[in-house]
Each structure stands twice: as structure tokens, then as C-alpha cells.
């Protein structure tokens, strides 16, 4: 494992009264808090009692596994650092990691979500447990380089696990840059994302041309088209898949407000619509993990319950697609 620089020396950290985030089993350097908001200092993460209960899936390009339930940060993590919302997110992220989950997805253009996530990971000492995914979202090389420098500052780390080209933006420039960062050890994996059906054809074309480690795409009971487009190609090419918008950006909850769960839900261990929408996503065999967003600890706990027990049969998946079409 290559040695990596830290942003602040131990001496300068000591001068600010901050401790380094504790190192977990992983041998890579821990992230160094730059300026944590007014929260308790980092303490060692608690024993992970629930780790292992979540289903884990292998990333085809390496065989490394990640739990099937991850988290997104769009909207739900776009909060003020010095607000009560930050304390609520501290509870939420604790539920996430204590439950055995690891994968977080963010982006430099979700206003300040990456800065909030960086602060939360540092404050809780979670960075080494986190499989951290972010994006390149800029139009030229100079802007991409400046953005990556800012990303490291905001996430309080000098490397991520996954760097994705956001919505294929400026792909001809962004992809060579992503590959270069991977070669330099700044990211373990590189990927491509989209979130609209209208982007699936271009995403498939780019998957065939560039063979990314990961692809990220929208897939939900009311937008299941990826099962005909991106997902089979990912299986064919051996590309890991992250699912975004499994709740259609939250809109699905309004649709099920007065609806009862299918009679068979208990047979697959499902007790809420949130769990059912997530279980739908992870029941496709191409899917590596789903990354729902929430800023609430109760909803986070509920989401994690989708990551164990039986998956949905093809008939159950088809029934949901017909119901929400």
C-alpha cells in the first residue's frame, strides 16, 4: 500500500486540539480532521455488532465486497454545519456504520453535502470504515483539477474508494483524468453515472468503450428501464452497479401513503415500503449496492433492514413494476 500524505501534520493537529481519526483494520492512512464543527471529539468506533448481517456483493474488477445497502447525500446531507441538522446526521451516520454499512456516495455539486460528510466522518472516526464514492463534475481539465483539490479538502481525505464521472459530463476529458488519478492511487475504482432513462443509451455506449469498474444508474419500481439497458450490459462486462433514486427522489412515498404492503411482504422479511423499494433494487442480480438518501436515524435503521433476508422473486419484482407503472 503506497504511503500517503496527510493534510495536517500531527503537530498542527495537536495545536488545534484535534486528534487524528482512529485507524481501523484498514492499513491506509486515516483522514485528518481539518476543523470539525462544535461536536464531541472523535472516539474509536464502537464494536460493529451488526456487521456481517448485511448481504455483501463483490465488485467484479477486484472481488472486494461491499454491503448492499449504502447511502447517498443529495438533499439529505445539504445542511448547515452548525445546525441541529448536523447532530441529527451524526445519529443517522452512527446507525449506518453500527449497522454494518460502509458505502457513501456524494458529489462536489450537491452544494455542501461533501463538506458535511467529511465533517461527519472525521467527527465519528468513520473514515477508515467508509467506502467513499464521489464524482468529477466539471467541463475542462483545469476545473477538474481544482475540483479534485477542493474535494479532498472538503472530504478531509487525500483519496477516495470510487471516483465517478457525473452524468458523463465532459467524458472525453474527465475519463483520462479519472484514469490518471486511479493510477496515482488517489482512487481505487473509477466509474460513470447517470440518473435519467434518456441517458441510458449514452451510458451503455461509454461502458462498452471505457470498461469502468463501476456504473451508477437510476432504477426503481416506477422507473425499471435500467433492467433492459444498463444492468444486463454491466453483468456482461463485469461492471459493479450502484443504484440511485430507488425512492424516485422520495416521490414514491407519496404514492404509497395510503397503501398496504403486498401480502407476501412478510415472506421476504419486509415491514415497510422503504424496505420494499430497496429490496426491489438489490434483487436484480447485476446490482452491487443501492444508495438511498436519508437524514433521519429512524429511516436509516429501516433502510438497513432491507439488506438481509430473502430477495424478491422475479414474479414479485414484476408485480411491483406493474403496480407502479
User: How many helices and strands, by DSSP H and E, does the chain display?
Assistant: 11, 10
Residue 313 CA, chain-centre distance (Å), reads 25
Identity of the residue, 41 or 250, whose beta carbon is nearer to ligand NAP in the bound complex: 250
Mark 29-47 as b/e (b = at least 16 C-beta within 10 Å): bbbbbbebbebeebeebee
> CB of 304: closest distance to ligand NAP in angstroms?
12
Spatial CA neighbour of 186 closest among 238, 214, 217, 145: 145
Residue 69 interacts with ligand NAP (CB under 6 A): yes or no: no
Q: Is 78 in the site for ligand NAP (CB under 6 A)?
A: no
Q: Which of 37, 53, 65, 75 binds ligand NAP (CB under 6 A)?
A: 75
Three-state DSSP state, 241: strand
Phi, psi of 203 (to 5 degrees): -65, -45
Nearest residue to ligand NAP by CB is 72
Candidates 81-89, 150-158, 183-191, 240-248 — which segment interacts with ligand NAP by CB under 6 A?
240-248
Q: How far apart (Å, rounded) are the C-alpha atoms in residues 10 and 31?
A: 12
| Candidate residues 244, 275, 283, 317; the one interacting with ligand NAP per rule CB under 6 A | 244
Instruction: Give strand pairing partners of 189.
Output: 162
Question: Is 253 among the residues that bind ligand NAP (CB under 6 A)?
Answer: yes
- Stretch of residues binding ligand NAP (CB under 6 A), selected from 8-16, 73-81, 124-132, 202-210: 73-81
CB of 318 to ligand NAP, least distance (A): 21
Count the site residues for ligand NAP by CB under 6 A.
28
Quick one: which of 102, 193, 283, 317 contacts ligand NAP (CB under 6 A)? 193
Which parts of 20-112 fold into alpha helices (H)? 84-98
- Determine how many CB atoms are found less than 10 A away from the CB of residue 172: 7
Binding site for ligand NAP (CB under 6 A): 72-76, 105, 166-167, 193-195, 216, 244-250, 253, 274, 291-296, 299
Amino acid at each position: 500500500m503506497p504511503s500517503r500524505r496527510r493534510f495536517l501534520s500531527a503537530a498542527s493537529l495537536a495545536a488545534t486540539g484535534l486528534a487524528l481519526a482512529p485507524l481501523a483494520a484498514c492499513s491506509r492512512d486515516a483522514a485528518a480532521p481539518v476543523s470539525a464543527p462544535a461536536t464531541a471529539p472523535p472516539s474509536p468506533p464502537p464494536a460493529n455488532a451488526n456487521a456481517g448481517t448485511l448481504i455483501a456483493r463483490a465488485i467484479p474488477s477486484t472481488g472486494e465486497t461491499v454491503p448492499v445497502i449504502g447511502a447517498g447525500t443529495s438533499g439529505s446531507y445539504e445542511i448547515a454545519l452548525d445546525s441541529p441538522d448536523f447532530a441529527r446526521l451524526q445519529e443517522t451516520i452512527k446507525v449506518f456504520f453500527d449497522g454494518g454499512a460502509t458505502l457513501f456516495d456524494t458529489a462536489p455539486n450537491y452544494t455542501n453535502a461533501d463538506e458535511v460528510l467529511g465533517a461527519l466522518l472525521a467527527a465519528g472516526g468513520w473514515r477508515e470504515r467508509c467506502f467513499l464514492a464521489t464524482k468529477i463534475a466539471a467541463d475542462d481539465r483545469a476545473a477538474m483539477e481544482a475540483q479534485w483539490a477542493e474535494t479532498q479538502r472538503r472530504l478531509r481525505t487525500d483519496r477516495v474508494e470510487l471516483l465517478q464521472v457525473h452524468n458523463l459530463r465532459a467524458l472525453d476529458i474527465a475519463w483520462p483524468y479519472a484514469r490518471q488519478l486511479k493510477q496515482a492511487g488517489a482512487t481505487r475504482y473509477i466509474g460513470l453515472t447517470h440518473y435519467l432513462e434518456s441517458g441510458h443509451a449514452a451510458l451503455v455506449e461509454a461502458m462498452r468503450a471505457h470498461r469502468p469498474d463501476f456504473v451508477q444508474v437510476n432504477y426503481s419500481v416506477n422507473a425499471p428501464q435500467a433492467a433492459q439497458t444498463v444492468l444486463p450490459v454491466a453483468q456482461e462486462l463485469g461492471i459493479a452497479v450502484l443504484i440511485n433514486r430507488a425512492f424516485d427522489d422520495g416521490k414514491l412515498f407519496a404514492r404509497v401513503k395510503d397503501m398496504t404492503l403486498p401480502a407476501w411482504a412478510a415472506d421476504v422479511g419486509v415491514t415497510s415500503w422503504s424496505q420494499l423499494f430497496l429490496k426491489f433494487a438489490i434483487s436484480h442480480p447485476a446490482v452491487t449496492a443501492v444508495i438511498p438518501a436519508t437524514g433521519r436515524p429512524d429511516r436509516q435503521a429501516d433502510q438497513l433492514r432491507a439488506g438481509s433476508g430473502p430477495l424478491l422473486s422475479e414474479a414479485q419484482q414484476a408485480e411491483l413494476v406493474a403496480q407502479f407503472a
